[in-house]
Amino acid sequence: MKFAVIVFPGSNCDVDMYHAIKDELGAEVEYVWHDANNLDGFDGILLPGGFSYGDYLRCGAISRFSNVMNAVKKAADQGKPILGVCNGFQILVEAGLLPGALIRNKNIKFMCRTVELRVENNETMFTAEYEKGEIIQIPIAHGEGNYYCDEETLQQLIENNQIAFRYHGENPNGSISDIAGITNKQGNVLGMMPHPERAVDELLGGADGLKLFKSILKQWRETHVVTA
């Protein structure tokens, strides 16, 4: 399986994502600059965190117009796994690949620490290696991570089982319904504010995030028969 890590001007978690895939997951990965217009050679697409275009206007509002986002949308339509973390989540929302919005944290402060998440849906290509209800520890680092949507959208997320992760115990940013990560209806696009790529090795303080990447790889292997 070959992953693309999309790099926007201002990305600063692209190296973390690359390390998680190459050194911890043991899969093939390449950086792809934001002006690329073709992702056909990749099996999975990763949008990392950071401050794309300085977070001007709104977080992710400019990046969603980058050339590469047309290719990301095409990959999503093809059913390929698309993961957006932190700023990547914001970009996916701005691009219309996920519903809702990410607004300022309730306390109006940037937060950087490890929090607990509860796995709400372990039947997605991103969460199959977890147990339903499993409590995991994943770092956060954001100032605009407060997920918001209207009541109709929230009800749809619940009914379609699109809530992948919720904050457990403390809700650090005020997100509606404690939401930390959601998928699209098809289940192949995941956006989350916490950083699983920063929790892939005990040397980093924990490895609970590695199961997410293992889930993607497992699903891909199960749907792609490799012949000699």
Any idea which residues carry the catalytic annotation?
Answer: 86, 195, 197
Strands (E), the chain: 2-7, 28-33, 44-47, 82-85, 101-103, 111-119, 135-142, 146-148, 163-167, 179-183, 189-192
Instruction: Name the DSSP letter for residue 18.
Output: H
Q: Is residue 25 classed exposed, middle or buried when 0-12, 13-18 and 19+ CB atoms within 10 A define those classes?
A: buried
Pure H helices in 120-178: 151-159
- How many angstroms separate the CA atoms of 42 and 82, rounded? 11
Strand partners, 113: 140
Strand partners, 46: 5, 83
